[in-house]
Structure 1
């Protein structure tokens, strides 16, 4: 009897051992399944190409988002418009506008030569009309690593979603016109250089907050200044020099490269050696974050 019981126990143990070595049917772990399912869309999303900010679909989306919003701010210091470099380092960003048009398509060749000879980096805000008048020079400037090309608009108009004007210059009439003012020249610059400008300055440097927000949705940052360097090319050389000497760490200076014969070039030439002795160096906007 005892031998029979012992044999039965041995047989039972053998059956259990065999069962343990056989492959087990896996019951899905709900938490793991949910985690896997939740990760799948993220992987697909991260693998998708970014929407081209100049695509009709993206522009329609932005217009749909902002077209019924009413602006609350208007001017040069509109919220969202960057005025300075976000740094305490002794650096200054010299920015030069080329406004284009009948009275704004000149070329300050002496100024350009000086920047090149002294190896002074600068950001050039170029208007579409100026590009049309100087296509070869524009390509040369865009190919020069010393310079960063930015967008100064298509028709040099204040950026408004409701037709506000300043200095006798009519602003864009609505959101679509405001975006056209930016994007037509954005396309032109990208077609020529292969690069998408990151920064935009409106004609007259006036904006409303809705236009600024809509531009930001398309990856375009509105930029002004904290140093009025030459007041549209109307300052004499002494005034330009004194304006630049008021720079502080992180300043953005607004000057012009389309007004030969103005005081801009001479004032820049007088101010830069002094600023260098004070420990300042010169940078492009894209070298730093802005605020």
Structure 2
């Protein structure tokens, strides 16, 4: 099969919660490697303090750099641990690039990118991840089909929370505080030196004031 689609909104990638309730899913990526193996403790401790559930997409390289922190996160029921890949690569069958990062080159590499980290997560947590999000959140439709054959649901996003941890505090706040009902928010937990934590800490009280609550992805039905 020759792919004809490429991007973050390829059919089969779920981007929203299928609900009319005033709920938002906060998701945080931990990319690892040169994309960052830091740990935003300020962000995570705020979520714990405020008892805010979140879904954490963890890459294999980040686990290797933060093994004890990973176990702490995985043992906390506030956090749903999901799969952010083995090498943090866009999911392609033709090696396409996204943001300068080379994608997987063929079906074999697609399977490696998803399954190897899923196997590790299952070994470490006793639970196989339900969701996969590729590095950069880019896909082609053939790779999407492979993911579905492997039993993964692909989790995209509807609100860009921190633009790869490049937003300043006000930009993060503006993005997240205006999230409509059913949003999946994408932000990062691997750049403590950036402003993601401050923006999230500022946005969450505003969402609560508007009557929103927060959910993990696994507790909801998702839609494209």
TM-score interval (norm. to shorter) = over 0.9
Q: TM-score, normalised by structure 2?
A: 0.98
CA root-mean-square deviation: 0.7
Point out 4+ residue stretches in structure 1 off by more than 2 angstroms. Answer: none
Q: How does 1:73-222 map to 2 (within 5 A)?
A: 73-222=5-154
Partners of 1:167 and 1:232 lie apart in 2 by 10
User: 1:288 is matched with which residue?
Assistant: 220
User: 2:198 is matched with which residue?
Assistant: 266
Moved more, 281-290 or 100-109: 100-109
> Normalized per residue, which structure has more strand?
2
User: 1:226 is matched with which residue?
Assistant: 158
Partners of 1:152 and 1:135 lie apart in 2 by 16
- Aligned partners of 1:73 and 1:79 also within 8 Å: no
- How many residues are paired up? 223
User: 1:254 is matched with which residue?
Assistant: 186
Partners of 1:123 and 1:103 lie apart in 2 by 19
Task: Report the structure number with the largest CA radius of gyration.
Answer: 1
| Deviation per residue, 1:46-104 (Å, 9 max, x gap) | xxxxxxxxxxxxxxxxxxxxxxx221211000110000000010000000000000341
- Aligned partners of 1:161 and 1:172 also within 8 Å: yes
Partners of 1:254 and 1:153 lie apart in 2 by 16
User: 2:176 is matched with which residue?
Assistant: 244
Instruction: Give the deviation of 1:163 after TM superposition.
Output: 1.1
- Aligned partners of 1:227 and 1:244 also within 8 Å: yes
- The higher relative CO (CA closer than 8 Å, separation ≥ 6) is in 2
Q: TM-score, normalised by structure 1?
A: 0.76
> Normalized per residue, which structure has more helix?
1
Gaps of 5+ in 1: 1-68
Partner SS, residue 235 of structure 1:
coil
Partners of 1:90 and 1:213 lie apart in 2 by 31
